[in-house]
Amino acid sequence: MKSVLYTLTFLLCCTANFAQDAQKILFIRGGDGTGGFLEGGADHHLCNIDDYDTWNGNHGWGTLADALRDEGFELTQMEEGPVGNSGPIDLLSLNLSDYDVIVMGSNNVPYPADQVDAFESYIKGGGAALFISDANFGLDWDRAPTSDQSFLDRFGWVMNQDQGTYTVRTPDFSLPGHPILEDVSAFMGEGVSPITVADYNVPEVTTTIIVPVPSDQFVQRNDRTGSGATTPATADDAVLVVATVGAGRIAGHFDRNTFFNLNGAGTDITEHDNRQYAVNLFKWLAGSTLTAIEPAFGQSAKAFAFSYQWRQGTVRIKTEIRRFRGVILDTSGRILQRFENEKELQVGHLAKGFYILNVNNCVTYSFVIP
C-alpha cells in the first residue's frame, strides 16, 4: 500500500500523460501573400510542411513533418484567407476533436470570440495546441503575435514580437528532467518570439516555464501596433512554456527557425538537439509520453507498455508477463476497478477526470477521461 500511496503523491505532481493510436496534427498556416514583410513578402516565410527546400536560408518545415511522420503522426495543413481576402480558418466548421494537436504556426489574423470559445473547449476536453510566432509570419511586427493573442488571453500567456538570437543549454533549463527535454542538451532560435506568463492563476490552467529566457537577453513586447518596446527579460519570459488546461495541454515555443530544413535561416532542425527536441515536444503534446516510476519489488517497469484510446474508452497493456494484477484509482486513492491478466481495460464508464492505473503495485500509468 505504501508503494501505491507514493505513486499517487508522485503522479499528482506530474502532468497526466496518455497515448493514442491515431495521433493527428493540424498545422494552421497564414494565407498566400500575408507573410514575410521583412524580406519581400515571399510565401515560403509561412513555413509550409510540404516545403523541403534546402537552399541556404530556407524556411521550410518539410523535414520536421517527416520526423513527425516517422513517429507515427498524421499531418494536415490548412491555410487562412489570402491577402486581399484574409480571414481566419472557420474552426466552428471543423471537428476539432479529430486532431490530437493543433499548431498555431504562421497564423496572422485575429479570431472571433466564438471560434476562440470552440478552441478553448477543445483544449479543456483533452486536446492540445502549440503556439509559435515570428515577425515574418505577418505583414507587420504585430500581426502574428496578435493572432495568437486571441487564444492566449484565455490561458494567461502573452506572445511577444520577434527579436534576438540565442541557444539555450542544460544550465538554462528550469526543469531538465521534463519529457520534452529528454536527451536534449541544447536547442537554438534566431529572431525569437518568447512567451510571457502574465497570469499564473487562471482557473483550470496550470502553467510551468520549462526553459526561461536567459536573464541577459531582451524581449520585444507586443504592446502596440507595429514594432513594440524592447525591455530586459524577466523571470516570467519563456523560451518554452507549457500548461495543462482542464484535461488538455498547451505549449509555447520561442521560434520557427528551430524546425527549419537543412541550411535553414539562422538555425535548422539538424543543429544542436533541435530534432530531438521537436519530436519530444510533439509527443508530449499528443500525450505519447508514458508515466512510469521504478518499481519497489524488482519488477521492471520496461516490461509493461500502455496505450490509451480515449475515444474508444480503452486502456491497453502490452507485456510478455503472463500473470499480473492491478487496480485503477482516482486521485483520492480510492480503488475503482480491479483486474487480473487483462490486456484491454474498458474505462469509458468512468466520469471525467484524472485516473491512475497501477500494475503489480509497482508500475504506474496515468490517463485522463476528457
Cα-Cα end-to-end distance for the chain: 28
Contacts of 300 (CB under 8 A, 6+ apart): none
Domain boundary among 237, 264, 285: 285
In terms of domains, do 82 and 228 share one?
Answer: yes
Q: How many domains does the chain have?
A: 2
In terms of domains, do 251 and 350 share one?
Answer: no
Residue 318 CA to residue 304 CA, distance in Å, equals: 6
Q: Decide if pLDDT at 103 tops 70.
A: yes
In terms of domains, do 281 and 298 share one?
Answer: no
In terms of domains, do 44 and 179 share one?
Answer: yes
Q: Decide if pLDDT at 3 tops 80.
A: no
Provide the grid cell at 286: 499528443
Query: With bands split at pLDDT 50, 70 and 90, how would you rate the model's confidence at 236?
Result: very high
Domain boundary among 285, 317, 346: 285
In terms of domains, do 77 and 128 share one?
Answer: yes
166, 230, 307, 369 from 349: Cα distances, Å: 49, 52, 17, 9
Question: Other CB atoms closer than 10 Å to residue 22's CB: what's the count?
Answer: 11
In terms of domains, do 100 and 222 share one?
Answer: yes
DSSP string, 198-260: --S--TTEEEEEEEEPPTT-EEE---SSSS--EEE--TTEEEEEEEEETTEEEEEES-SGGGP
What CATH number is associated with residue 356? 2.60.40.3080
Domain boundary among 285, 303, 328: 285
In terms of domains, do 38 and 171 share one?
Answer: yes
The 10s digit of each residue's pLDDT in 78-93 is 999 999 999 999 999 9
In terms of domains, do 297 and 269 share one?
Answer: no
In terms of domains, do 253 and 317 share one?
Answer: no
pLDDT, residue 290, reads 38
- Higher pLDDT, residue 296 or 64: 64
The 10s digit of each residue's pLDDT in 323-342 is 888 889 887 677 889 898 99
The 10s digit of each residue's pLDDT in 106-120 is 999 999 999 999 999
- What average pLDDT score do residues 50-73 get? 97
In terms of domains, do 116 and 254 share one?
Answer: yes
What CATH number is associated with residue 221? 3.40.50.880
Model confidence pTM above 0.95: no
In terms of domains, do 299 and 233 share one?
Answer: no
In terms of domains, do 167 and 234 share one?
Answer: yes
- What average pLDDT score do residues 294-301 get? 38
Provide the grid cell at 145: 503575435
Range of the domain at 338: 2-14+290-369
